[in-house]
Structure 1
Amino acid sequence: MPVNHDTTFVDNLPQNMAVQFLDRVAASPQSEAFRYPVGEAWESLTWQQAGDKVRSLSAGLLSLGIESEQRIGIASGTRYEWILADLAVVCSGAATTTVYPTTNAEDTAYILGDSECRMVFAEDDEQIAKLKEHKSSLPHLEKVITFDGTADGDWIITLDALTELGDAYLAEHPDAIETVAKSIRPEQLATLIYTSGTTGRPKGVRLTHKAWVYEGAAIQVQDILDESDLQFLWLPMSHSFGKVLLSAQLACGFASAIDGRVEKIVENCGIVKPTFMGAAPRIFEKAYGRIQTMQAAEGGAKEKIFNKAFEVGLKVEALKRDGKSVPALLKLQHGLFDKLVFSKVRERFGGRVRFFISGSAALNQEIAEWFNAAGIVILEGYGMTENSAGATVNHPDENKIGTVGRALPGSEVRIGEGDEVLLRGPHVMDGYHNLPEETAKTLTDDGWLRTGDKGSLDADGFLTITGRIKDLFKTSGGKYIAPSAIESKFKAVCPYASQFMVFGNDRNFVVALITLDPDAMTGWAEENGMAGASYSDIVTSEKVHDMVGGYVEELNSRLNRWETIKKWEILDHDLTIESGELTPSMKVKRNVVEDNNKERIAAFYS
């Protein structure tokens, strides 16, 4: 089926996100909009019910005196109240400033202060405590609205109290929300997202209403999703990837089941049975590793059948990709293995998934091909906060594994000096908040966004990302190394891997620091006579060292000679957001890890 690459829709975008939301409520009033967990059960809201709640909350903000483009923070994990709050901010003409719930008190205060937030939606007492700690340095902050925290009826009020204020306001100004919605210009600020950044202070990225409605419309026009779909949404809504899926939902009208608890993703998929989900590669790596280690633990005939199934599945997919026919015997084997093996892999995710969308970091090609062989399509996309998350994405009918797809219709991608990927279109940011010099460095005079990523375009316009330009390094022998390419290969080879970090700038060989996945290692310990041992005792044991050594050798057999890992060490702890070694979107802060392990890395070369 030919893919729709029509760009005329760009001239007919909804005026803003508020209009986009109100139009969706009018178009699908009785259809399901949101589903959310209450205890062990799931409850549901129609678009009309969501519209009524948002109108009340939005009017509550207007009653408190919020004005056009003034900032309102949301400091909370992903839950359906986050989305109601965000839509209420949008419909009041204000702009949402996002704060990860894991952000420490000092950085939270910096973000809310820099953005001059007048109000904040705070999830619970833990988030409120951060605001209280820095109250004196937040002169603009007038009101805190809490989802689950303790209200004082004055500075801190509940969501219900805001709803009551809104209902009273609507009784006097019944058309207030529609009037505000019509007044919001496409170029108006909708969202300030502070990039967690792998270096330095977070920068506030200014994203307009036009950017978000374009993103939703660009997905809608490709006929990828419609009202019959059900999304499982766990991604951090503080991140642009989560926000772009909300924009797509408003444009396409599908329902979203929402639960931000990462540890419950696979369990929730089994219950909710979504048709699609967005995720970071770490989720696919963990699922892949878990399934692999479970099969290895079973051993015997079951493991043989499992391995044979994937051998056949990968062969069939390779023939299909090359446009060749599948021989009758192979087709028969594939049908049998689909019943015995692949259907069980699909069932882990609910059995109805049409595709996953992977973004926010590079997905290993082997892992993508493995899922594809099981009948689970992963569409890899690419983008950054500075272009509202979505720049390119593969399509179910045109999915080139190993690439991140083509530019969204109505936008452009090209390769600039030094193979840097450049983006241009309605989705590109206005600039960095209060940072004109940084903005000038990142946006060209003719509107191209410098991404800082190295990449290439093929003859069909599919983009391949090689890595961050600043992460590339040169050995003392003059050979360039792209760490991310090596790192993702190890995760495909070793099912126990959590992180694999490569170093060797200006050195004569490449070294690595390795962390192992705590869940996977608990399972390994039970099978290897170390049940109940501490994580650090398990990962520093000689048996684990020998096992990982085997995987490093396998990795080295797939690398160029100058890329091979000559020395390596397993860290006694996994990287975490709390330790400052991962960003909230699960990217490794390479410079922090390198700094924390300076002596260890130096010892490799002594």
Structure 2
Amino acid sequence: CSQVLNIPPSYRSLLILPWDHSFTHTAGIYLLIASGACMGAVQPGRNYAESLRNIPVNIREFRPTFLFSVPALARNFRKNIENGIRQKGKIAGLLFTAGLRIAYAYNREGLNRGKGLRSLLRPLVGTFDMLVFRKVRQAFGGDLEFFIGGGALLDVELQRFFYALGIPMLQGYGLTEAAPVISANVPARHKLGSSGRPVPDLEVTIRDDDDTILTREHVGEIVVRGDNVMVGYWDNQRTTRETVRNGWLHTGDLGFLDKDGFLHVLGRKKSLLISSDGEKFSPEGIEETLASESPFIDQIMLYNNQSPYTVALIVPNRAALRDWMKQQGLSAQAPQGQLKALGLLKAQIDEYREGGGHQGMFPSKWLPSAFAVLEEGFSEENQLLNATLKMVRSRISHRYRDTIEYLFTTEGKKINNPKNCEAVGKILAG
């Protein structure tokens, strides 16, 4: 880590991720100690929810120079920022949106920031930063320079958002089995949408199902070798033999190396959606994009196991949905109000279909044709999220197996099915 990221002794980081995870240990605790930098811990609450509420307060108090984050936290940060902007009124919202557009055009993909004719935008970028984004950064204490992201796939639009604010989300990739860092973006060399370049002294290859090494830009399994790769799993020789072969760690993740040597991670092989004709697709990009870009969706999990269409389990953002209902003058208990709320959730997905604002981003066949609204979100407490706040797909699928099965019935495929109407009514009334 220290070879990749130079942390001066003057830097400070509040460790907001669970301390029992290897990402926090290696990239956080050990790196900060080795650098002589300052670290802080989130004030513990009486329960998990109270500890989460302490995070923004402690960030403002501690004034970190950089933070470690995972996609779930980054999404929450973004939604809180956008809610704060909306509360400031229409003019603030227009300025914020205009500033984002200018910054997106100027920053591009990171490596080509401000190059060519885009350099003409530099004065405008500086103006919006002074008028809008500098004030947003005050919510993080005012000294924050960047995030180090890991733990799961991060939506590129989320990366663009934080880069525009002047606090880039430097995404990396790793596994506990590799101690855990495999690749990382750094302030001086990063590309949005990627997980950075491999760390020094680590071999990274992309392989097909026959274990043949693929060339640049071809998608396959990420397979790595180096001194940081584990010897094996404790007391589990069978899984060790399957995972570590001839010193090479088979990560189980799909990805590719681009022409510039940046690693792009696409998702888990075991998480693949499988259609009725046997075609496969990784759902994580769709899930991360919908949860990041829609103010009305907090969490979403897609499911397709050789089925005629894809379905989804959706956890709505209660506050945003209630505010929208209030603005529309709709009643949560009236059938018409429930139908409108369900239609709004469907519209978030339809944005990525033909005719939508983001058409072509994902193949239409993998977008959900039916969805179930869930009253309870996925969390560590109900064991549906792991320590880095990633969805535990097998547990979610098992817990909601009856709901998923219902979505493949004629009644369940309709968005206004009785179960969805009941769930939305309870969410909006609660």
Matching residue of 1:585: 388
Q: How far does residue 279 in structure 1 lie from its aligned partner after superposition?
A: 1.1
1:293 corresponds to 2:83: yes
The amino acid of 1:580's aligned partner reads: Q
- The residue aligned with 2:6 is 224
Question: What are the residue-to-residue correspondences of 1:84-99 with 2, within 5 Å?
Answer: none
Q: Determine the structure 2 residue equivalent to 1:548.
A: 345
Aligned equivalents of 2:367, 2:204: Cα separation in 1: 33
Report the equivalent of 2:130: 339
Distance in 2 between residues matched to 1:496 and 1:293, nearest whole Å: 12
- Secondary structure of the structure 2 residue equivalent to 1:502: strand
CA 1:319–1:234 in structure 2 vs 1: closer, same or farther (change >3 Å)? closer
Give the residue type in structure 1 aligned to 2:139.
Answer: R
Unaligned 5+ segments in structure 1 are 1-218
Query: In the TM superposition, what is the alpha-carbon distance from 1:478 to its structure 2 partner?
Result: 3.8
Q: Which of residues 282, 302, 314 is equivalent to 2:72?
A: 282
Q: Deviations over 1:408-464 (max 9, x none)?
A: 11222111233111122221123111112221221112x111111111112332111
Aligned residues of 1:581 and 1:588 also touching (Cα < 8 A)? yes
1:579 is paired with a residue whose SS is coil
Alignment of 1:409-428 (within 5 A): 409-418=200-209, 419-428=220-229
Aligned CA distance change for structure 1 residues 518 and 584 (closer, same or farther; 3 Å): farther
Q: Aligned pair in 2 of structure 1 residues 326, 353: CA closer, same or farther (>3 Å)?
A: farther
Contact 2:232 2:240 in 1 (8 A): yes
Cα distance, 1:299 vs structure 2:
4.4
Query: 1:360 and 1:328, CA in 2 relative to 1: closer, same or farther beyond 3 A?
Result: closer
Give 1:222-301 correspondences, 5 Å limit: 222-244=4-26, 245-259=28-42, 261-301=51-91
Q: Does 1:398 align with 2:180?
A: no
State the shift of 1:529 in Å: 7.0
Q: Secondary structure at the match of 1:227?
A: coil
Q: Quote how far apart the aligned CAs of 1:505 are.
A: 1.8
Query: Which residue does the alignment assign to 2:281?
Result: 481
- Offset, 1:472: 0.9
Q: In the alignment, does 2:306 pair up with 1:306?
A: no
User: 1:319, 1:502 → 2: CA distance?
Assistant: 28
Q: 1:249 to 1:530 in 2, by over 3 A?
A: farther
Deviations 1:337-389 (CA, angstroms, capped at 9, x unpaired):
11121112211111211211011111100010111011111110111111112
Give the direction of change, closer, same or farther, for the CA distance of 1:266–1:326 in structure 2 (3 Å limit): farther
Check the 8 A contact 2:12/2:38 in 1, yes or no.
yes
Counterpart residue type for residue 489 of structure 1 = T
Q: Which amino acid aligns with 1:544?
A: A
Which residue of the partner structure matches residue 189 of structure 1?
A: none
CA–CA distance in 2 between the matches of 1:399 and 1:319? Answer: 8
Matched-pair contact (CA < 8 Å) for 2:86–2:92: no
Distance, in Å, in 2 between the alignment partners of 1:223 and 1:584 is 24
Q: Secondary structure at the match of 2:315?
A: strand
TM normalised by structure 1 equals 0.59
CA contact (8 A) 1:290 1:520 kept: no
Is the 8 Å Cα contact of residues 289 and 496 (structure 1) preserved in structure 2? no
1:576 matched to which residue of 2? Answer: 379
Conserved in 2, the CA contact under 8 Å of 1:511 and 1:604?
Answer: yes
Provide the rounded CA distance (Å) in 2 between the counterparts of 1:319 and 1:475. Answer: 33
Unaligned runs of 5+ in 2: 45-50, 210-219, 354-358, 410-430
The residue identity in structure 2 corresponding to 1:374 is: L
Q: 1:548 is aligned with what amino acid?
A: L
Distance in 1 (alpha carbons) for counterparts of 2:319 and 2:126: 33
Deviations 1:207-235 (A, max 9, x none): xxxxxxxxxxxx22335212111111121
Cα separation, 1, equivalents of 2:104 and 2:128 = 12
Match of 2:241?
Answer: 440
Secondary structure, in 3 states, of the residue corresponding to 1:506? strand
Whichever residue aligns with residue 10 of structure 2, its letter is S
Partner of 2:400: 597
Checking the alignment, whether the CA contact within 8 Å between 2:111 and 2:189 is kept in structure 1 is no
* 1:555 match: secondary structure: coil
The one-letter code matched in structure 1 to 2:135 is K
Cα distance, 1:561 vs structure 2: 2.5
CA distances 1:106-135 after superposition (whole Å, capped 9, x unpaired): xxxxxxxxxxxxxxxxxxxxxxxxxxxxxx
Q: Which residue of 1 aligns with 2:298?
A: 498
The answer to whether the Cα contact below 8 Å between 1:316 and 1:326 also exists between their aligned partners in 2 is no
What's 1:566 paired with?
A: 369
* Secondary structure, counterpart of 2:108 in structure 1: helix
Cα separation, partners in 2 of 1:386 and 1:525, compared to 1, 3 Å: farther
Deviates more, 1:501-510 or 1:580-589: 580-589
> For residues 264 and 70 of structure 2, what CA distance do their matches in structure 1 show?
17
Q: Are residue 384 (structure 1) and residue 384 (structure 2) matched?
A: no
Q: Is the 8 A contact 1:382 1:393 kept in 2?
A: yes
Stretch moving more, 360-369 or 564-573: 564-573
| Alpha-carbon shift at residue 266 of structure 1 (Å) | 2.1
Q: Give how far 1:246 is off.
A: 1.3
1 CA distance for matches of 2:70 and 2:254? 20
Counterpart AA for 2:383: G
> 1:98 aligns to what?
none
Which residues in structure 2 correspond to 1:362-373 (within 5 Å)?
362-373=153-164
Q: Which amino acid letter does the alignment assign opposite residue 255 of structure 2? A: G
| C-alpha distance in structure 2 between counterparts of 1:568 and 1:223, whole Å | 42
Shift of 1:530: 9.1
For residues 408 and 228 of structure 1, what CA distance do their matches in structure 2 show? 24
Would the aligned equivalents of 2:110 and 2:190 in 1 still touch at CA under 8 Å? no
Task: Quote how far apart the aligned CAs of 1:477 are.
Answer: 3.5
| 1:450-469 alignment, distance < 5 Å | 450-469=250-269
Q: Distance in 1 between matches of 2:208 and 2:109?
A: 37
Distance 1:354 1:297, change over 3 A: closer
Counterpart code for 1:500: I
Based on CA coordinates, which of the two structures has the bigger radius of gyration? Answer: 1
Q: Which amino acid aligns with 1:512?
A: A
- Once residues 137 and 255 of structure 2 are traced to their aligned partners in structure 1, the CA distance between those partners, rounded to angstroms, is 32
* 1:15-54 aligned within 5 A: none
Report SS of the residue matched to 1:361: coil
Give the structure 2 partner of residue 162 of structure 1.
none
Q: For 1:452, what is the secondary structure of its paired residue?
A: strand
Cα RMSD for the two superposed structures: 2.5
Q: State the number of aligned residues.
A: 382
Deviates more, 1:260-269 or 1:430-439: 260-269
Residue 431 of structure 1: aligned partner = 232
What's the secondary structure of 1:433's corresponding residue?
Answer: coil
- % same residue: 29
Residue identity opposite 1:576 in structure 2? S
DSSP 3-state at the match of 1:283: helix
Contact 2:110–2:192 (Cα < 8 Å) also in 1: no
**Segments of 4+ in structure 1 off by > 4 A?**
326-329, 518-531
